[in-house]
Amino acid sequence: MEKLYFGTDGIRGPVGTAPITAEFMLKLGWAAGKVLIAEGCNKVLIGKDTRTSGYMFESALEAGLSAAGVNIALLGPMPTPAIAYLTRTLNACAGIVISASHNPHYDNGIKFFSRDGMKLADAVEYKIEQALTEPMATADASHLGKAERVHDAAGRYIEFCKGTVTRGMDFSGLKLVVDCANGATYHVAPSVFAELGAKVIPISVSPDGLNINADCGSTKPKALQNAVITHGANLGIAFDGDGDRVIMVDHCGEIVDGDELLFLIARDHLRRGHETKAVVGTLMTNLGLEIALNTMGLALHRTQVGDRYVMERLLAENLLLGGETSGHIICLDKTTTGDGIVSALQALAAMIRANTDLHTLKSGMIKCPQSIINVPLPGKVDLSHCAPVQEAVKAAEATLGNKGRVLLRPSGTEPVVRVMVEGQESDVVDHLAQDIANVVRQVVAN
């Protein structure tokens, strides 16, 4: 059964356009509260990133939950993975995140975590959607939910992150540029690395409600690359607006993406004798990672794009490490969801244990040329049965033969279709991707 509101990563869209409105968030808070109370819930956490609209939606969700009779603990601006962690440790039955992740400030969204710090089960999301169709009824005045603020949330999360590396791990001697995307990590990430001994040069740590992800962070790392070179840093670390993604930049100014970080962490696991047989990636994961893992005796299991699907495969096959090219990495031996800070710490620890620099460490994986073009869509457009598009895809596949692949998929978080072509020659890959993208543009325009 298709969900009406919930996508692969919660509910997301432009602020002021249904369903991302104050009125809907009030009803959503009530509907979620109604469902959760029926399951014995009495406490829900709410956290948010730094968007101005977060204040509006926080108030609306708080009112809806209170009307349903649920108590609320307000965390303020906190990374998405921090809310997952705090939901578990503060004995809440659910956590709500107000964020549109890597999207611009004019978008926003809602994500839910269960009491165990994982994404809410499909069955619960269906129940919430059903409750949204019912008339809203306020609980008796004596049973309304109460709200409180959690004042030590940041400190709790900082200590948790530090605890995910080996006790005594010393980052002194490292000079790090840390780009917080003017988002939810701005007040925690620099402290984590500094308290572990690194010299930290923070950038994009002055959120104003509108500058989240604006020419900064993991999706636009140019400023980080320049800062690493300018400051002569050992490396740079960039998070997205809600802190569940991370990419790095080595001392040469070269980007180290999620696929390469998965390689570094997986190899470190093997070197330390961790029992592992596979890593989980997605359809977009670079073929170079699969080849590198195979060389180490590990398999790459591919899923649909989206951390929800990566997590499902990890749990189903009792695996510990998976993620996406974008830098959304899940280290299940450390935490319950994708966590940019925790993932960065694991990569840094691997570098320290190998006694080498990031540039050298990543050289064990050779990425295959990959071209990804995002073509804007006016709405939901099914291209799977569009003859001109499918003919362009088949033509590209014939050119690549068995030495490459083509993937066409709609984004789960943005109104675009992603055209991905991967092969052995960058010029050919770029040309084929552009050819398919042009056909898609023509079809969409008509």
- Cβ–Cβ contacts within 10 Å for residue 423, how many? 24
Strand order in the sheet with 255-256: 199-203, 175-179, 235-239, 246-250, 255-256
Return the DSSP state at 413: S
Domains of the chain, start order = 11-151 (3.40.120.10), 172-255 (3.40.120.10), 257-367 (3.40.120.10), 370-445 (3.30.310.50)
Pair of tokens at residue 423 = 């092969």
Q: What is the mean pLDDT of the chain?
A: 95
Query: In this predicted structure, what is the pLDDT of residue 29?
Result: 98
Confidence of residue 355 (pLDDT cuts 50, 70, 90): very high
List C-alpha distances in Å: 39 to 80, 235, 332: 24, 47, 26
Burial class (CB in 10 A: 0-12, 13-18, 19+), 272: exposed
CB 190 within 8 A of CB 197: no
Query: In this predicted structure, what is the pLDDT of residue 363?
Result: 93
Pair of tokens at residue 41 = 């819930």
Confidence of residue 278 (pLDDT cuts 50, 70, 90): very high
Q: What is the pLDDT of residues 197-242, one digit of tens each?
A: 999 999 999 999 999 999 999 999 999 999 999 999 999 999 999 9
- The residues carrying an active-site annotation are 101
pTM summary value: 0.91
Backbone angles phi, psi at 76, to 5 degrees: 75, -160
Q: What is the pLDDT of residues 253-271, one digit of tens each?
A: 999 999 999 999 999 999 9
With a pLDDT cut of 70, the percent of the chain lying above it is 99
Pair of tokens at residue 394 = 């088949």
Rounded distance between C-alpha atoms, residue 71 and residue 93, angstroms: 10
Confidence of residue 167 (pLDDT cuts 50, 70, 90): confident
Task: Tell me the β-bridge partners of 246.
Answer: 239
Q: Minimal CA–CA distance to 292: which of 268, 272, 263? A: 263
Q: Average pLDDT for residues 149-173, to the nearest whole number?
A: 95
Backbone angles phi, psi at 119, to 5 degrees: -60, 145
Contacts of 248 (CB under 8 A, 6+ apart): 235, 236, 237, 238, 255, 256, 261, 344, 347, 358
Place of tokens 């014939």: 398
Task: Give kind and range of the element (H or E) at residue 272.
Answer: none
Rounded distance between C-alpha atoms, residue 347 and residue 66, angstroms: 42
Q: Average pLDDT for residues 388-407, to the nearest whole number?
A: 92
Rounded distance between C-alpha atoms, residue 351 and residue 371, angstroms: 29
Backbone angles phi, psi at 193, to 5 degrees: -70, -35
Rounded distance between C-alpha atoms, residue 389 and residue 372, angstroms: 16
Pair of tokens at residue 358 = 């990031």
Name the region of 247 (left: φ>0; alpha: ψ -120 to 50; beta: rest): beta
- Cβ–Cβ contacts within 10 Å for residue 230, how many? 11
- Cβ–Cβ contacts within 10 Å for residue 390, how many? 14
Is the per-residue pLDDT at 381 higher than 80?
no
